[in-house]
Amino acid sequence: MVSQLRVVANDTDSGLSAFVVVDSLVEGRAMGGTRTTATVTLDEVAALAARMTIKLAWAGIPIGGAKAGIVCDLPAGAERDRCFGDFGRAVAPLLRGGIYLGSDQGTSHRDRDVFFAAAGYDVAGEDVLAALPCKWAQLWEHCEDVTGFGVCQAVLAAVEATVGPGEGRVVVQGFGAVGRAVASRLAAKGYAIVGVADRSGTVSHPAGLPLPDLLAATDALGNISRVNLPQNVACTRRPDAWLDLDADLLVLAAGGDAIHDGNVDRVRARLVVEGGNLAVTPSAQCTLTRRGVPVLPDYIVNVGGAAVTGLLLTGLAPPCTVVHDLVEWLYDEIGHRIRRNVRTLLAHVDPQRPLGEVGLLMGGPVKAAGGNGGPAPRR
């Protein structure tokens, strides 16, 4: 029996097709991102909303899980803005009623601001944000890479637990905000980014891609222009070519079910990280577990953006008068929580069960420790 609130918004005049699913409420509130792709479905959004509930529980943030989806593949411009404006007007009652909808795959912070404006919703009107030292949109300019930062913190925690490679070759599938941040931060730690996949195919170099050139050639939605890349960078349009690259670490930062029964035998990495939601199917996780390849689950590692929003909306962040101080606290707190959760999960490794399944059975670090409430933020 479905126990979610599911809202479908269809407008034949404007062409809007969108969904909002509220999976859980905590004190009348829920939150989640807005996924914008040409193929997003209600069932997909429902699964993501349920995942958000789990993600926030593991992060120790007292707010329920929700998710939205917009069927749209328009480039930046007036038509795209009209689509997000229509969405904002459709979901305005939900936004004003305690359901926060932010950015997600395919939805930029600018897109979010467009549908907020159309809805007449100002997040700064929330009582707990009255003392925010800057505008909401300005804060996110400082936190743009926070989800990728969290994914890297998870990798480093796995390395400390001798589960992941301390350095080596990395393939990043998906080069949106999360994928770019992961590539940049892991490269700074000595990893070689040998392959990156976007919607047009895969670019690669066995000794490591020239990351500055790659970033300069990438737009805000993660599409890489091949025109000005160095000649020694290999480019292929095969959508799954990233699976054939020799790598120690595979970061999945795009859509769901990237690894499934049909391609799991091609995975060559020693550690797989779900930088995107539901990136590895349950059966493929079982196959990788039998091969001794851990999969760090999405609900622990890619919580950064959600955690920033949740910590602020629930009043867990300390009052700050300087933006830098608030941002520094948020990154420090999120890094701490993710590293703690990875250590907690790895301490309960079961060779017969995928890590993601183990974590779901545990319910979260607080339940595993016998507690009865979310962990207090470190001050």
Task: Give the side-chain half-sphere CA count within 13 A for 312.
Answer: 28
Single-letter residue type at 231? Q
Residue range(s) in the chain whose domain bears CATH number 3.40.50.720: 130-379
Reference 250, options 210, 212, 279, 292; nearest CA is 279
Which backbone phi and psi does 359 adopt, to 5 degrees? -65, -35
Instruction: Specify whether the CB–CB gap between 101 and 33 falls below 8 A.
Output: yes
Two structure tokens written together for 141: 């300019």
Instruction: Specify whether the CB–CB gap between 375 and 58 falls below 8 A.
Output: no
Residue range(s) in the chain whose domain bears CATH number 3.40.50.10860: 5-121
Choice among 67, 135, 189, 367 that is catalytic: 67
pLDDT of residue 370: 44
CA separation for the pair 196, 346 (Å, rounded): 28
Which backbone phi and psi does 86 adopt, to 5 degrees? -60, -40
The 3-state DSSP class for residue 237 equals coil
The pTM assigned to this predicted structure is 0.90
The 3-state DSSP class for residue 242 equals helix
Instruction: Specify whether the CB–CB gap between 218 and 293 falls below 8 A.
Output: no
* Helices assigned H by DSSP within the chain: 42-59, 78-96, 109-119, 136-142, 146-160, 177-188, 211-216, 282-290, 298-301, 304-313, 323-346, 355-362, 365-368
Q: Are strands 201-204 and 234-236 parallel, antiparallel or unpaired?
A: antiparallel
Q: Are strands 64-71 and 5-11 parallel, antiparallel or unpaired?
A: unpaired
Superfamily of the domain at 5-121: Leucine Dehydrogenase, chain A, domain 1 (3.40.50.10860)
Q: Are strands 16-22 and 5-11 parallel, antiparallel or unpaired?
A: antiparallel
| Max CA separation in the chain (angstroms) | 57
CA separation for the pair 80, 200 (Å, rounded): 21
CA separation for the pair 198, 200 (Å, rounded): 5
Two structure tokens written together for 360: 């779901």
Percentages (nearest 5) of helix, strand, coil residues in the chain:
40, 20, 40
CA separation for the pair 310, 304 (Å, rounded): 10
Reference 271, options 151, 155, 147; nearest CA is 155
Which backbone phi and psi does 13 adopt, to 5 degrees? -70, -45
- 250-277: per-residue pLDDT in tens? 999 998 899 999 999 999 999 999 999 9
CA 255 from centre of chain: 10
- Across the beta sheet with 169-173, the strand order is 234-236, 201-204, 192-198, 169-173, 249-252, 271-274, 295-296
> Please, what is the Cα angle at 275 between 29 and 286, to 5 degrees?
105
pLDDT of residue 14: 85
CA separation for the pair 242, 247 (Å, rounded): 10
Enter the DSSP assignment of 218: B
Superfamily of the domain at 130-379: NAD(P)-binding Rossmann-like Domain (3.40.50.720)
Rg (CA), the chain: 20
Single-letter residue type at 217? A
Residue 67 among the catalytic residues = yes
pLDDT of residue 365: 64
What are the average pLDDT values for consecutive 10-residue runs of the chain, which has 379 residues? Answer: 85 91 96 95 96 95 97 93 96 96 90 96 87 91 95 96 90 95 96 96 96 92 90 93 96 94 96 95 97 96 95 94 96 97 94 93 64 44
- 334-362: per-residue pLDDT in tens? 999 999 999 999 999 998 999 999 999 98
